[in-house]
Amino acid sequence: RERYTGLINRYRDHLPVSENTPVISLGEGNTPLIRLQNIPRLLGKDVDIYVKYEGLNPTGSFKDRGMTMAVTKAVEAGSNAIICASTGNTSAAAAAYAARAGITAFVLIPEGKIAMGKLAQAMMYGAVIMQIRGNFDAGMQLVKEVADKAPVTIVNSVNPFRLQGQKTAAFEIVEELNRAPDFHCLPVGNAGNITAHWMGYSEYHRAGVCNSLPKMVGYQAAGSAPFLRGGPVADPETVATAIRIGNPQSWDKAWALQKESQGWFDELQDNDILAAQRLLAEKEGVFCEPASAASLGGAMRDVRSGKIPEGSTVVCTLTGNGLKDPDTAIEQCREARMVTIDAELGAVRDAILSQM
């Protein structure tokens, strides 16, 4: 079998690259599609739910799929620096791929509102970090304006190569299931990823690789849900900091694909997002970050209500690794999961017996 060297080499026939394109890769893509065993039983419904564990990409999120393309094309065009605004994951991916390419990454992040793992990554990979007194939307606006005034390439999802790379997740799912799912559920911030998935499914459908298309379902955090409000949200707030976004960049594309695919948008309260994150970890052994759990939490609710009917095949994208945000995880579980005891045999035995 051929050595796996990342998604550009794997899918080069479907991507805007040539033989001479200098591929910048960290072996991203090819992530596991895990069939849930315990949660469907708990729901009492006959549904097949798979999670696409994008947290196993090289920097721990789906952003690596987009970043390998964006940085490859930036280097091909002769760029020496990239820039992005980010809630955390894009900054980690940009920093890593820039390091790999030997160019500079500038990242704008909202002060105090980024998960610790992501901040550690951007620092370690050597990005120039600008912490702004403002949110993601303010950072995004600044990045768009400065790109005209400084020699930097934007690698946010407004860069079309990002979505090209990210569409490959849909290719992998179709190949693994030998069909498209009936429903594909994702957390939505800027709506770049849901757009990219729809592009991927549509391309494979046109090419005859699959003969149906999924309904695309996007879930937002209730405090940051512009798709539910019908317009931008001025002060987005949510524990799922990755999707703390009030002014989505792929607004029109997302509405178009919602109609075309006959899917829908919905919202979840922070508590429901965290409960889904915990349930997935406790019942299936899969740890994702809070934002990612919005896909599963929403899907579970829609399966229960019958909006997603029995007999369906459902894929939920787990966009980021749970290790990205240790603080939120520990805060939720500390009391339920930890006892402090003396370092004595009797105390350990008592602790075991008390739990059985």
Q: How far is the CB of 9 from ligand F0G (least distance, A)?
A: 24
User: Which residues, listed in sequence order, are joined to residue 295 by a DSSP beta bridge?
Assistant: none
**Which contiguous run of DSSP H or E holds residue 327?**
helix 326-337
> Between residues 45 and 265, which has the closer beta carbon with respect to ligand F0G?
265
- Least Cβ distance, residue 138 to ligand F0G (angstroms): 13
Residue 157 or 328: the one with the smaller Cβ distance to ligand F0G is: 157
- Shortest separation between residue 206's beta carbon and ligand F0G, angstroms: 23
Query: Which residue number, 59 or 72, has a Cβ lying nearer to ligand F0G?
Result: 59
Identify which of residues 15 and 107 has a Cβ nearer to ligand F0G in the complex: 107
Under the rule (CB under 6 A), what is the footprint of ligand F0G? 61, 63, 86-90, 157, 187-193, 242-243, 245, 289, 291-292, 319-320
Cα-trace Rg, the chain: 20
Q: What's the rounded Cα separation, in Å, for the pair 266 and 167?
A: 22
Q: How far is CA 48 from the centre of its chain?
A: 21
Instruction: Find tokens 């020496």 and name the residue.
Output: 80
> Which residues are registered as beta bridge partners of 314?
49, 183
Nearer to ligand F0G, 180 or 242 (CB): 242
Identify the burial level of 77 via C-beta atoms within 10 angstroms of its C-beta, where 0-12 means exposed, 13-18 middle and 19 or more buried: exposed
Phi-psi region of 27 (alpha: psi -120 to 50; beta: other; left: phi over 0): left
Least distance from C-beta 331 to ligand F0G, angstroms? 18
9: exposed, middle or buried (Cβ count in 10 Å: 0-12, 13-18, 19+): middle
Nearer to ligand F0G, 117 or 181 (CB): 117
Query: Smallest gap, in angstroms, from Cβ of residue 115 to ligand F0G?
Result: 9
DSSP states along 282-322: HHH---B-HHHHHHHHHHHHHHHHTSS-TT-EEEEEE-BBG
Minimum CB–partner distance for residue 1 and ligand F0G (Å): 31
Helix (H, G, I), strand (E, B) or coil at 247: coil
